[in-house]
Amino acid sequence: MSALTDLFGIRTPVILGPFGGLSSVRLTAAVSEAGGLGSYGLYGYDADRIRATIAELRAAAGAPFAVNIWLPTGDEVAPGPEHEGYAAALAPFFAEVGVEAPARPERYLPPLEEQVDAILEAAPPVLSVVFGVPSAALVEEAHRRGIRVVGTATTVAEARVLAEGGVDAIVATGAEAAGHRVSFLGPAEESLVGLFSLLPQVVGAVAVPVIAAGGIADRRGVAAAFALGAQGVQVGTAFLGTAESAATAAHRDAIRATPAEGTVLTRAMSGRLARGARNRVVAEIEAAGSIAPFPAQNWITGRFRTPAGEQNRGDLQSLWMGQSAPLARYGTAAEAFTELAAGVPRD
Ligand SMILES: Cc1cc2nc3c(=O)[nH]c(=O)nc-3n(C[C@H](O)[C@H](O)[C@H](O)COP(=O)(O)O)c2cc1C
């Protein structure tokens, strides 16, 4: 037992990372049932969907699990008259999948308060957050309801303010990781620290348990993270390619086919910096040079990414993956979990 396994009430300190927009109850439950901590990304979910999802997770997992939300950073745009221009810039992609460019919605994202109220009411075992420090009121209310709170840092400075904010554990996420760079103190482009550098520095800076994320895809990565002071690991890409994941077949194929140097950090798909394969849609949006701010770009591209997924077209989806994609070769979540768990030091 370590402070982290105690904190979460789990046997094995291997955490499935949340996948905003791409989490599956099946995968989350599989990792929790195996003795780790499955996480589920609630990005963009309204209160009803949050309540339903947490109820499903509770029924399916029978063991502790985590849910994840994105905190607002204050620079999010609301739907305005610019919307039509943003959508028009992406017109060729809507035409390719055979749908109309989307009209301006009432909102791009549900408000944080709506999400938080639903989560507090449902009281999942663990709540992890990205893009900031949860408010003192949120941490206090979560603790009162028995919910553990986890923050996410891309720099030592972010880890320090999260610790001061009263979180129970911190994910230190290196620049190798899949998906969005969740920096909140400085620009994402200036917060790109690799995990080997970031992890021991964060461990040295805070007293709470640190969870390592970014590029960990087999027992060697897990052992290295523990050697550098982590008490747990959070893994994304290695689980995303498994049978229980919600990734499309094209996405899984891309994970198997993309070399370490084949991923890029791009704002093309969402308006915020994120790591994924440099497929045709990323290359063409970057070349066109007009990218709407977050979350407009994310909402609008989502309207062609969903049909592209249904048509299994990898060239028009967000193929989020990390630099260790070539190591993500597992058929099932159990296979991936067994391999990763083998790297946890025995005490
Ligand atoms: C499709 C996708 C979506 C993700 N969405 C989120 C998210 O909403 N919140 C979050 O904290 N991390 C998110 N991540 C990051 C993962 O949870 C995890 O920390 C990361 O993948 C670890 O790096 P690795 O892929 O190299 O293992 C996402 C990753 C992927 C691949």
What is the Cα gyration radius of the chain? 19
How far is Cα 54 from Cα 62, in angstroms, rounded to an integer? Answer: 12
Please indicate whether residue 241, judged by its CB atom, sits closer than 6 Å to ligand 1.
no
Q: Tell me what the mean pLDDT of segment 291-311 comes to.
A: 97
What is the rounded average pLDDT for all residues in the chain?
97
What pTM was computed for the model?
A: 0.98
Cα–Cα distances (Å) from 116 to 47, 141, 180, in that order, read: 8, 10, 21
* Residue 132, phi-psi category: left (phi > 0), alpha (psi -120 to 50), beta (remainder): left
Which residue reads 């998906």 in tokens? 179
Q: Which atom of ligand 1 is nearest to the CA of 18?
A: 17
79 phi, psi to nearest 5 deg: -60, 130
Q: Which atom of ligand 1 is nearest to the CA of 236?
A: 21
Please indicate whether residue 300, judged by its CB atom, sits closer than 6 Å to ligand 1.
no
How far is Cα 157 from Cα 3, in angstroms, rounded to an integer? Answer: 23
Q: Which two tokens stand for residue 337?
A: 């979990």
Please indicate whether residue 40, judged by its CB atom, sits closer than 6 Å to ligand 1.
no
Q: Which atom of ligand 1 is nearest to the CA of 247?
A: 1
Q: Is the pLDDT of residue 1 over 80?
A: no
Cα of 236 to ligand 1 centre, how many Å? Answer: 5
**pLDDT, tens only, 238-270:** 999 999 999 999 999 999 999 999 999 999 999
Q: Is the pLDDT of residue 67 over 70?
A: yes
Q: Which two tokens stand for residue 244?
A: 């229980």
Considering only CA atoms, which residue is closest to atom 4 of ligand 1? 19
**279 confidence band (pLDDT: 50, 70, 90):** very high
**pLDDT, tens only, 109-121:** 999 999 999 999 9
Please indicate whether residue 43, judged by its CB atom, sits closer than 6 Å to ligand 1.
yes
Considering only CA atoms, which residue is closest to atom 10 of ligand 1? 18
**51 confidence band (pLDDT: 50, 70, 90):** very high
Please indicate whether residue 298, judged by its CB atom, sits closer than 6 Å to ligand 1.
no
Please indicate whether residue 213, judged by its CB atom, sits closer than 6 Å to ligand 1.
yes
Please indicate whether residue 68, judged by its CB atom, sits closer than 6 Å to ligand 1.
yes
Using a pLDDT cut of 70, give the percent of the chain over it: 100
pLDDT confidence of residue 150: 99
Helices (H) and strands (E) in the chain, counts: 15, 11
Q: Which two tokens stand for residue 214?
A: 């970014």
**pLDDT, tens only, 140-191:** 999 999 999 999 999 999 999 999 999 999 999 999 999 999 999 999 999 9
Q: Tell me what the mean pLDDT of segment 321-330 comes to.
A: 98
Is residue 182 within 8 Å of 294, Cβ to Cβ? no
Is residue 155 within 8 Å of 186, Cβ to Cβ? yes
Domains along the sequence of the chain with CATH: 3-76+109-258+324-341 (3.20.20.70)
